[in-house]
Amino acid sequence: MSPMPRPQREYVREIRQQLPAETFRPRPQKLWMVLAHSLVLVAGILVIRNATSMWVLPIVSLIMGHSMGCLGFIVHDISHNAVVTRQPFKYLLELYVWGVVVTSPHMWHRVHNQSHHRMPNSLTDPDRRYLTREKTLAVRWYDRVFVPSRASGVLNLTCLAFLAYITRNMTAALLFPGKRKPSIATYKPDYTWRDQLRIHFEFGIGIAFHVGIFFAAGATLIHYLWAGLLPAIVGSMVLSAYTITNHLLNPLMPEPIDPLMTTHSLRVPRFVDWLHHHFSHHTEHHLFPNMSSDYYPLIRRILNERYADRFQCVTYGEALRLLWQSEPFMEPPAETITVDVAPAALAASES
């Protein structure tokens, strides 16, 4: 028999007592990693611009792509105020990193921080699986190509799931007014005209970044392919490797949303965990989204000790096996039970 769901605030109240005060302070030390990966990108562009052998280009492009993925892990922390909190510096960092993949930081906050974190694996979660009643031709093909399940076909691009996810949410924000949305978007937040204007501006900044990469790499399409397009695709693949395992293995749930029952964490080699900023600790992140990922191993130890019957943490291979055996569409939760959400939890999800 499955345990009864518990709201996030109960876990937070019990675990917080065991944590030292420094775990809730921002970690600006991660800015050194932003600089390191940025230097990798700059060096890669210069190598591609001046390369005399074609054989070096794919290697450099792969290295640049991995750094783009790592920047994605760091900007995830930045967006939750876990690295720096002072504006406008924080916003400029987000504008830079998300601009590399032509994404709006404001859209990300609305979709991820404010919608997904408030209600993970609920009907108002942009990250959830599609419902059976939502099957359209576009949804069937999107699900078949980008979402791993037993219905996935031979043509499968799950490795680009994060890029597809960003594209569908940017499309919903930029091209669909009011409450309208494309069928492939599971949920769309309410955007005011000011929101849409800001997202258009930030999208333009991303385009400008790639125009700059085009000219810096040699001002030819082949140079841009290796220095701009392929690294962005590889970066998406690095992020997709984790994001497809975060929630797709878990059932949809009415309120109260239990983060331990709607989220999976992964066990990966320690060096990979360090290199990828503990992005495998996803349940831990949902409990304390404002906490630096450097402290997530401490949260994992507490979860293993106190909530072993609820905490879902599997190896990466096991997660992939379960994903490819999962059903492609879901039924909605049977009922919704309204509960009060603690102001602290809301503030954490919005930041």
pLDDT, one tens digit for every residue, the chain (351 residues): 567 888 899 999 999 999 998 999 999 999 999 999 999 999 999 999 999 888 999 999 999 999 999 999 999 999 999 999 999 999 999 999 999 888 999 999 999 999 999 999 999 999 999 999 999 999 999 999 999 999 887 778 999 999 999 999 999 999 998 889 999 999 999 999 999 999 999 999 999 999 999 999 999 999 999 999 999 999 999 999 999 999 999 989 887 789 999 999 999 999 999 999 999 999 999 999 999 999 999 999 999 999 999 999 999 999 999 999 999 999 988 764 443 334 344 444 444
Domain count, the chain: 1
Sign of CA dihedral 154, 155, 157, 158: negative
* Bridge partners for 313 per DSSP: 265
Q: Which two tokens mark 178? A: 């009011």
Instruction: Quickly count: other Cβ atoms within 10 Å of residue 47's Cβ.
Output: 19
Entry field: residues in the chain: 351
Residue 59 located in a structural domain: yes
Residue 2 located in a structural domain: no
Which strand (E) or helix (H) includes residue 336?
A: none
Q: Answer whether the bond into residue 256 is a cis peptide, omega within 30°.
A: yes
Q: Provide the residue range defining the domain that includes 21.
A: 8-149+156-350
Distance, CA of 107 to CA of 166 (rounded, Å): 9
The per-residue b/e assignment along 134-147, b for 16 or more CB within 10 angstroms, e otherwise, is beeeebbebbbbbb
pTM over 0.95: no
Backbone phi, then psi, for 123, in 5-degree steps?
Answer: -65, -20
Amino acid at 16: R
Question: Which of 102, 109, 218, 220 lies closest to 171 in space, CA to CA?
Answer: 102
The position carrying tokens 């055996």 is 325
Residue 194 located in a structural domain: yes
Residue 3 located in a structural domain: no
Question: Which of 275, 190, 233 lies closest to 68 in space, CA to CA?
Answer: 233
Residue 1 located in a structural domain: no
Residue 332 located in a structural domain: yes
The region that residue 265 occupies, defined by phi over 0 for left and psi between -120 and 50 for alpha, beta otherwise, is beta
